[in-house]
A and B are shown apart, each in its own frame.
Chain A
């Protein structure tokens, strides 16, 4: 028997309390794994902490002065922008094209979708290791293919008479390789994001445009792309952030080489701060990611809001 008492407010009715309860895990998460490390990074950047001498001494902006005097830092900063910029453009363009393939209706589309998404589901490091072999200085299958096609290894061939390209040994080729791997792994993500935007376009609009006499290109550039601009911006944002903050690809493929030609902010911060043991300098380099990421995020989110069409 249950006693019937006067109606009472239960915990489930107290929305204010519940709100805090449900928010708690994410608040703890953000504080512990985002806010605290960020404050630590700022603190370290203004200190002389090293792996050998962890005692904290405030040194002001000395770490930054030294970083600014270091040509490798400037090279890394430039590379970060070059890699991010080129990758972002390629990721968005290829993602858009791939998305069109993904929404198309044809036999075996499930297999194609699965294959397309594979690079994104593979852990970055595993993918990069696979590419390390693909781009090997001696055993590269790409070189082999080029040789078979007569584009490499013969006198007067398009890519020269040498037997190998040395993808990761030549500065320009190494940069191109890093970009290619970024594009390879991030294009599927962008394709899925753009695809979500494409399927959300009412079918009427495309049909109206067809009846209105618009051909494929006009429909693409005047209806489909404007209508998906917000999601394309989101895809660009993701592509940029993932490229910007990634160090696994550079670390596995080139280790920053040859001669720091593919060094980026993340890898340089890691090499200085962790491998080199100069925590203060590493933190100072890493801090440069923050304002740039913040600016990029704000810029793209504002663009999204501006372009919201409905």
Chain B
């Protein structure tokens, strides 16, 4: 268990600032997710922490020690790559014990340790196989086992689920979370998938253009986005933003409901919605239309849960409402919270 800290980290590639002055610190045993669109610098940040990239400026600290100039092996970190990077010519056992051999552990200790890790991840019966004989999910577990045996201070995971199919991804996500709780090692997890981020992270750091836009618990990042980037990057469909004077009024699609679906006791902001299209998606209705009254006329989405069964059809205008405490306000010019 350890604390990873990044101070004013900058990484420049040929004039492009991939990481642009990031300050970040994990807590002990925390599961921190770096979330952002592709090219936002999240992987570069992770690789800088691992020691695979030398930062242009700034420092990386692990357990309070500056490790910026140290090679990866001196940092006591373990990394799971997007491709898993298993050694194709070695067996599963050979892969798992590789870091232990590098550490000079005796053969008997190595095998004991490898057995322990393999059993923990449920791949004990695969030890004699070669990586090419394994399924995607099994390969991922081998990569995890290889990371685990060294008892690293920090786990670094680079989109480890992106090579799995959708069904497997859900169960693998669940396993990853339970696994991390079991070993309670500080983990930094990179993903562009907000579902993974929301589901796995103790905290989420949202990155864009090499900068941290917001860092907080999943519920805070979702309910109280720091700026319009976070508001529209997280949530599917994203937060509706309606221009009003110098501001943007934001509300989540699931908070825009027919008036009668909101209890009368709540302070409601009533808005007429001219519906032009309806999508029926796994129980929810996504209602697309133009909203007026709350600001300028703007095209928005309302997400009606299955429990709301008011009849709605395209081409009509209905009375909708948003609970006033659900409204968020942003400065139109900067995108920051007002």
User: Which of A136-144, A214-222, A255-263, A293-301 lies at the binding interface?
Assistant: A214-222
Cross-chain contact of A208 among B79, B89, B132 (Cβ < 8 A): B79
Q: A210-B52, A210-B71, A222-B98 are in contact. List 18 more A-B contacts (CB 8 A).
A: A202-B85, A209-B98, A211-B50, A211-B72, A211-B78, A212-B73, A212-B78, A212-B146, A212-B150, A213-B72, A214-B98, A215-B102, A218-B101, A222-B87, A223-B87, A227-B88, A227-B89, A309-B89
- Indicate if B83 sits at the interface (CB-CB under 8 A): yes
- Whether B29 sits at the interface, judged by CB under 8 Å, is no
Q: 8 shortest A-B CB distances, which residue pairs?
A: A208-B85, A204-B85, A213-B73, A212-B99, A213-B102, A214-B102, A226-B89, A211-B72
Residue from B50, B73, B77, B89 in contact with A215 in the complex, judged by beta carbons closer than 8 Å: B73
Q: Interface on chain A toward B: helix, strand, loop, or mixed SS?
A: helix
A-contacting residues, B61-98, CB 8 Å: 71-73, 77-79, 81-83, 85, 87-89, 98
Q: Contacts A204-B83, A205-B85; is A210 near B73 (CB within 8 Å)?
A: yes
Check if A207 sits within 8 Å of B132, measured CB to CB.
Answer: no
Output the least CB separation between A198 and chain B (Å). Answer: 15
Check if B103 is an interface residue, CB within 8 A of chain A: yes
- Bound together, the chains give a CA A226 to CA B98 distance in angstroms of 14
**CA gap between A70 and B33 in the complex, in Å:** 79
**Chain A interface size, under 10 / 10 to 19 / 20 to 34 / 35 or more:** 10 to 19
A9 within 8 A of B: no
Q: How far is the CA of A218 from the CA of B82 in the complex (A)?
A: 23
Q: Spell out B's residues near A (CB within 8 Å).
A: 50-52, 71-73, 77-79, 81-83, 85, 87-89, 98-99, 101-103, 132, 146, 150
The complex places the Cα of A211 from the Cα of B102 at a distance, in Å, of 11
A179-218 CB contact bits vs B (8 Å, 1 = yes)? Answer: 0000000000000000000000010110111111111001
A204 touches B81 (CB 8 A): yes
Residue of B nearest to A205 (CB): B85
A209–B85 alpha-carbon span in the complex (Å): 9
- Which residues from chain A contact B51 at a C-beta distance below 8 Å? 210-211
Give chain A's interface residues, CB within 8 Å of chain B.
202, 204-205, 207-215, 218, 222-223, 226-227, 309-310
Give Cα distance in the complex from A215 to B73, angstroms: 8
**B20: min CB distance to chain A, Å:** 23
Shortest beta-carbon distance from B58 to chain A in Å: 20
By a CB distance below 8 angstroms, the chain A residues around B103 are 213
In the complex, what residues of A have CB within 8 A of residue B82's CB?
204
What are 21 sample pairs from A and B whose C-beta atoms fall under 8 A apart? Answer: A202-B83, A204-B85, A205-B85, A205-B87, A207-B52, A207-B72, A208-B85, A209-B87, A209-B98, A210-B73, A211-B77, A212-B78, A212-B102, A212-B146, A214-B73, A214-B99, A215-B102, A226-B89, A227-B88, A309-B89, A310-B132
Other-chain contact of B73, A202, A211, A227 (Cβ < 8 Å): A211
The complex places the Cα of A218 from the Cα of B132 at a distance, in Å, of: 23
Cβ contacts under 8 Å, B81 to chain A: 204, 207-208
Distance (whole angstroms) from the CB of B43 to the closest CB of chain A: 12
**Interchain CB contact under 8 A, A211 and B98:** no
Which residue from chain B places its CB closest to the CB of A203 in the assembled complex?
B85
> Does B87 lie within 8 Å of A213, measured CB to CB?
no
Give the residues in chain A near B79, CB-CB below 8 Å. 207-208, 211
Q: Name B73's closest neighbour in chain A (CB-CB).
A: A213
Give A12 Cβ to nearest chain B Cβ, in Å. Answer: 39
Q: Which residues of A contact B99 (CB under 8 A)?
A: 212-214
**C-alpha spacing A158/B37, complex, angstroms:** 68
Cα distance, A204 to B83, chains bound together (Å): 8
Q: Which residues of B contact A205 (CB under 8 A)?
A: 85, 87
CA distance A53 to B102 in the complex (A): 71
A229's closest neighbor in chain B, by CB? B89
* Cα distance, A205 to B50, chains bound together (Å): 14
Bound together, the chains give a CA A202 to CA B146 distance in angstroms of: 18
Nearest CB on A from B44, distance (A): 13
The CA-CA distance from A207 to B85 in the complex, in Å, is 9
B98 engages A212 (CB within 8 Å): yes
- Chain B residues with CB under 8 Å of A207's CB are 52, 72, 79, 81, 85
CA distance A62 to B87 in the complex (A): 57
Q: How far is the CB of A100 from chain B (nearest CB, A)?
A: 19
Identify B72's interface contact among A202, A204, A210, A218, CB under 8 A.
A210
CB distance from A32 to the nearest CB of B (A): 43
Rounded to whole angstroms, the CA-CA distance of A223 and B85 in the bound complex is: 11
A227 and B131 alpha carbons, distance in the complex (Å): 14
Contacts of A227 in B (CB 8 A): 88-89
